[in-house]
Amino acid sequence: MWILNGLMQGLRLTVVATLVALVSIAAVPASTAQAARGNLTCDSLYSVDGGGNYAKKINPTTGLSSDSFKLEGSSRHNQLGIGTGGAYAIYTATEGSGNNATNYVYNWNATTDTTSKVKSPVAPSTHGAINPANGWFYYGGLGDSNDTLTLHGYNPATPAVAPVKVMTVNLPGSKGRNGDLAFDAGGNMYVVAASNAEGGIWSVDGPMPTTGSVTVTGTQVTALTPQFASANSIAFGPDGYLYVGSSAFLRQVDPSNGQLKSDVPDRPKMTDMASCSNPVSIKLDKDLPAGRFEPTDQFGLEISGAGLTEGTTAVTDGPAEGVQTASVGPVLGLAGQTYTVTETAAGTANFANYDTSYKCVDDVGVTVAEGTEKTATFTPDSGRSVSCRFTNTAKKPNIKLVKDAELMGSWAAGQKVKYSFTATNTGNQPLTNVAVEEVSFSGSGTTPVITCDVAELAVGAEAKCSAEYTLTQADIDTGSVLNAAKAVGTSPEGVQVEATDDAEVKGETAAGIGLVKTAAQDEGAPWKAGEKVTYRFVVTNSGNVTLTNVAVNEGTFSGTGTLSEIECEASELAPGESTNCLATYELTQADVNAGVVKNVAKAVGTPPSGEQVTSPEAPAEVKGETTSDLTLVKTASPESGLSAGDEVAYKFVVTNIGNVTLKDVGVTELEFTGTGTNPVVECPVTELAPGDSASCTATYTTTTYDAKAGKVDNTAVATGKTPADENVKSNEDSATVTFEKDGICCGGSLGSAGSVGSLGSLGSLGSLGSLGSLGSLGSTGSGSTGSTGSGSASLGSLGSAGLGSLGSTGSGSTGSTGSGSTGSGSTGSASLGSLGSAGLGSLGSLDSSNSGSTDLGSLGSLNPSNPDVPDAPGAPDVPGVPDVPSSPGQREAPGASVNPAAPGTSGGASGERPHAIDGGGASTVFTSPPAIGLAALLLALGGAGAVLAIRRVR
């Protein structure tokens, strides 16, 4: 250790810590030629000096020294420790200097007199020693605060492994950085910390750590005395005294109190001392194996004798049982001295409630004191560490209970539960009146009765008890049965003890619900609106727990009406039970139209857990046969006695005789013999519910031709569509109306049409144009104009010719003819050339009602095949026969002339049957025999060049 004396005051040594990553170890041979030597002796002290070459062996009585073993390292030798029995020594030193200095831990082997070394992570400092309990070398130094000691550990059994930091020791009250370490045989550590004026000893309980980095606090065991002033070396002598030294002094100090025993006359120069002698140490603690009789019972502990002054008392605290944390020591003693250990009552402790014993054992297992008193006295042998313990066993009875429950079957009502109980006397007194009784029981049935095989228990004995219980449905619903039991017993002093335990038997609760749903009409009930459908639901509890609030809820429902409320016979179901529910529904017409009513329902219920359960969906549907049909009844008024021009009123009664609603209802005429405008049927509604009827109407005004025919027949049918857009058709029904007498058809004869003038020779007549109703025919095309004479005609050569306007002819009078257009033949020649294409204009209608004569309407122009030749002006109508306007489709009044119609259109009214001649691009309609004759004439004239069609139209 470093000597801080007056010559060195003010000098502060800076310790440079060098971290070593790579450990090296080398065997250093002895530098002298001496033979291998034996162990160091434990009746001597040993020292090193910072610049010395040899460790010194010191006589503790005289202080005289001699060389012991060669030191390695160039400087700063310190922190010497001697192994058990003197087999080895360990110290620290530095090799090199300045930035090249390397710190080492050196391990000298006494048997081989060789030294190995390993790099040290810290520079040599003040404190170092070998712990005889584990063989480790602990070394370090105090920090600037003087009260914190940092220690590294080195295990010589693994010499290549570098030292590591293992602990930090707080030393309350320390005032200096000088000092040293020492251990007793039990592995407890003693630290001397000293300033230049005073110092003291602190003890640290073993065992010492070898890994990690722990922090502990030392206990001061001597007062601060000047005997330790400036001391940098300590070692225990074979006499048990502590030797404190430096280069200036060597003192024998009483370790119990730090007082000076004597000054040793001589001493070598030193920085540290060590020995393999163990001091006497004493430690005292307390064990409460059965705990405290009262929670607040506490105990005082004390070590006294041979001048002990510091760290000799302690008091337990807290309620913990077992070895208490409060203890005394270890304190340092002297061999041959008498020491006393004592316990006292503290807090509420009363020794009458405890069995007390003590035992003191040294570090080699020798019992040095034992008894049942509260005080023990002993005299330790040299180098022995003595540990004493007071054991206080509370005089209190105790009992323990263990309870088990076993389900003997399934988790269902009626099953058995078997309970077993074991009551054990865990106290230190016998028990009587032992029994087990229920404290709480959650079952809803009869509380089980417990029987035990014995009623008295010796210490450690057991009593076996049993009981049985039958589960109820309420227990199943809860999901478990829990009960707590109590074991009781009475001590000889009349103190009753008890212990409780509980047991729970659980089962799996499974809530479930099922639903079966049916729907039907009453047997034989028709599928129509207003009929009743009955829904039946069977709800079943399919789980193992009771269900409440059982109900049926409708889901999707295709009906367009309102389903009645679903009523159930029961709203609570035990497992396996069922209930019937009922609801009714009245079909609507929309349901009947659809042909089916579908709905889905679910059953619900609430188990004891409160989480509602729902059944799978249960569908049901009711189907009916849909029929779609119509009837039609048709009438006409008046039915007979009609005359031309009378109005007939038709009535159509349409009835829906099916069971579905029909839409788009109407009446369609199939056959109608009237020659006038077809009657239009009007219906007030177009949709009919089953059984409903609609009266549709139409009117018709008769014509002359109807009268001529003598009757008008009319056949109709009613139609509609189903909701699925399928067509529905009724029966066909007819109505016939009759007239007073038949009309006269085709009366009179075709009068003289006058003579056609010289038409010239018929040239090439193109295709016959459109022959419409007998309107005006356009002017003739170009051809040679023949001379016209009364009743005769010389036909000239007719090229492309169009007939001029053919006027209406009166009875017996010659109709006016239009002038033909100039042909290409010579005048007066009657050669009949080929008839080219001729366009006939529309031919007006011929009426035969005027005194039996036939009127020819104006004959339209015949368009020439050469469109560039203009029409010749037509001849004027015969005077006195005025034209009467006529719209298409309307009959002419008797005696009236016919107006021209649009080319290509029929001049006949609806219902008439005209005759038509088609020729190429033109057609003419003829409605009387004279007209037909004219058509034949034209056909003869046209020859092969004309394509003529005679068409019969109604």
Q: How many CB atoms lie within 10 A of CB 710?
A: 13
Query: Is residue 382 within 8 Å of residue 335, measured between CB atoms?
Result: yes
Can the peptide bond before residue 526 be classed as cis, meaning omega within 30 degrees of 0?
A: no
pLDDT at position 99, please?
A: 85
What is the per-residue pLDDT across 192-221, written as a single tens digit (0 to 9) for each? 999 999 999 999 999 999 998 899 999 998
Query: Is residue 620 within 8 Å of residue 602, measured between CB atoms?
Result: no
Of the chain, the percentage scoring pLDDT greater than 70 comes to: 74
Burial-class residue 625 by CB neighbours within 10 Å (0-12, 13-18, 19+): exposed
Residue 842 CB-half CA count within 13 A = 19
Does position 441 have pLDDT exceeding 80, yes or no? yes
Cα–Cα distance for residue pair 587/785, rounded to 1 Å = 88
Q: What is the CATH number of the domain that holds 593?
A: 2.60.40.10
Q: Are residues 330 and 308 in the same domain?
A: yes
**Number of domains the chain contains:** 6
C-alpha triplet 463, 464, 470: angle, nearest 5°: 145
Average pLDDT, the chain: 78
Q: What is the CA radius of gyration of the chain?
A: 72
Cα–Cα distance for residue pair 785/798, rounded to 1 Å = 8
Q: How many CB atoms lie within 10 A of CB 422?
A: 17
pLDDT at position 395, please?
A: 86
Query: Is residue 439 within 8 Å of residue 499, measured between CB atoms?
Result: no
pLDDT at position 37, please?
A: 60
Does position 372 have pLDDT exceeding 80, yes or no? yes
Comparing CA positions, the residue from 197, 123, 130, 206 lying closest to residue 169 is 206
Q: What is the CATH number of the domain that holds 310?
A: 2.60.40
Does residue 13 belong to any structural domain of this protein? Answer: no
Give me the mean pLDDT over the 136-159 stretch: 94
Burial-class residue 670 by CB neighbours within 10 Å (0-12, 13-18, 19+): exposed
What is the per-residue pLDDT across 856-891, written as a single tens digit (0 to 9) for each? 333 333 333 333 333 333 333 433 333 433 333 333
In Å, what is the CA distance from 371 to each residue of 277, 290, 339, 359, 365? 31, 19, 15, 7, 17
Q: Are residues 192 and 325 in the same domain?
A: no
Q: Are residues 840 and 913 in the same domain?
A: yes
- Judged by DSSP in three states, 761 sits in strand
Cα–Cα distance for residue pair 272/253, rounded to 1 Å = 17
Token pair belonging to 454: 């014995």
Give me the mean pLDDT over the 161-180 stretch: 93
Residue 233 makes CB contacts below 8 A (sequence gap 6+) with: 1, 47, 180, 244, 245, 246, 270, 271, 272, 273
C-alpha triplet 728, 730, 734: angle, nearest 5°: 150
- Confidence band for 307, pLDDT divided at 50, 70 and 90: confident
- Lowest average pLDDT, out of 187-196, 674-683, 799-808, goes to 799-808
- Strand-pair partners of 531: none
- Confidence band for 51, pLDDT divided at 50, 70 and 90: confident
Q: How many CB atoms lie within 10 A of CB 55?
A: 26
Give me the mean pLDDT over the 406-426 stretch: 93
Q: Please indicate whether residue 24 or residue 233 has the higher confidence score (pLDDT).
A: 233
Q: Are residues 869 and 927 in the same domain?
A: yes
Burial-class residue 74 by CB neighbours within 10 Å (0-12, 13-18, 19+): middle
pLDDT at position 280, please?
A: 94
pLDDT at position 890, please?
A: 36
Give me the mean pLDDT over the 332-337 stretch: 92
Q: Are residues 522 and 618 in the same domain?
A: yes
Can the peptide bond before residue 679 be classed as cis, meaning omega within 30 degrees of 0?
A: no
Does residue 25 belong to any structural domain of this protein? Answer: no
Comparing CA positions, the residue from 393, 390, 133 lying closest to residue 284 is 390
Does residue 19 belong to any structural domain of this protein? Answer: no
Does position 611 have pLDDT exceeding 70, yes or no? yes
Does position 762 have pLDDT exceeding 90, yes or no? no
Does residue 29 belong to any structural domain of this protein? Answer: no
Strands 760-766 and 250-253: unpaired
Does residue 20 belong to any structural domain of this protein? Answer: no
The domain boundary residue, chosen from 454, 481, 506: 506
Q: Are residues 601 and 652 in the same domain?
A: no
Give me the mean pLDDT over the 745-773 stretch: 35
What is the per-residue pLDDT across 477-492, written as a single tens digit (0 to 9) for each? 988 999 999 999 999 8
Q: Are residues 424 and 487 in the same domain?
A: yes
pLDDT at position 495, please?
A: 87
Structural domain containing residue 157: 35-274
Give me the mean pLDDT over the 900-928 stretch: 36
pLDDT at position 735, please?
A: 95
Q: Are residues 805 and 721 in the same domain?
A: no
Give me the residue label for tokens 């309107």. Answer: 775
Q: Are residues 386 and 406 in the same domain?
A: no
Q: Are residues 60 and 182 in the same domain?
A: yes
The maximal CA–CA distance of the chain, rounded, in angstroms, is: 199
Q: Where are the beta strands (DSSP E) in 363-478?
A: 367-371, 375-378, 385-394, 399-407, 416-425, 432-441, 451-452, 462-470
What is the per-residue pLDDT across 14-34, written as a single tens digit (0 to 9) for each? 222 322 222 333 344 433 334
First to last CA, the chain: 151
What is the per-residue pLDDT across 620-635, written as a single tens digit (0 to 9) for each? 999 988 899 999 999 9
Q: Are residues 939 and 832 in the same domain?
A: yes
Comparing CA positions, the residue from 603, 528, 598 lying closest to residue 570 is 603
Give me the mean pLDDT over the 707-717 stretch: 95
Torsion-angle region of 589 (φ positive above 0: left; ψ -120 to 50: alpha; else: beta): alpha
Cα–Cα distance for residue pair 351/390, rounded to 1 Å = 12
The domain boundary residue, chosen from 336, 366, 392: 392
Does residue 10 belong to any structural domain of this protein? Answer: no
Give me the residue label for tokens 């429902």. Answer: 557
Q: Are residues 343 and 447 in the same domain?
A: no
**Amino acid at residue number 796:** G
DSSP code for 161: S
Helix (H) or strand (E) holding 655: strand 647-656
- Lowest average pLDDT, out of 338-347, 406-415, 739-748, goes to 739-748
Does residue 861 belong to any structural domain of this protein? Answer: yes
Does position 105 have pLDDT exceeding 90, yes or no? yes
Give me the mean pLDDT over the 578-606 stretch: 94
Q: What is the CATH number of the domain that holds 210?
A: 2.120.10.30
The phi, psi pair for 280, rounded to 5°, reads -85, 130
Give me the mean pLDDT over the 51-56 stretch: 90
The domain boundary residue, chosen from 254, 274, 294: 274
- Strand-pair partners of 250: 245
In Å, what is the CA distance from 576 to each residue of 473, 482, 543, 611, 807? 12, 26, 7, 19, 107
Q: Please indicate whether residue 933 or residue 767 has the higher confidence score (pLDDT).
A: 933
Query: Is residue 247 within 8 Å of residue 58, measured between CB atoms?
Result: no
Does residue 22 belong to any structural domain of this protein? Answer: no
Does position 805 have pLDDT exceeding 50, yes or no? no
- Lowest average pLDDT, out of 306-315, 335-344, 443-452, goes to 306-315
Q: Please indicate whether residue 431 or residue 27 has the higher confidence score (pLDDT).
A: 431
pLDDT at position 329, please?
A: 87
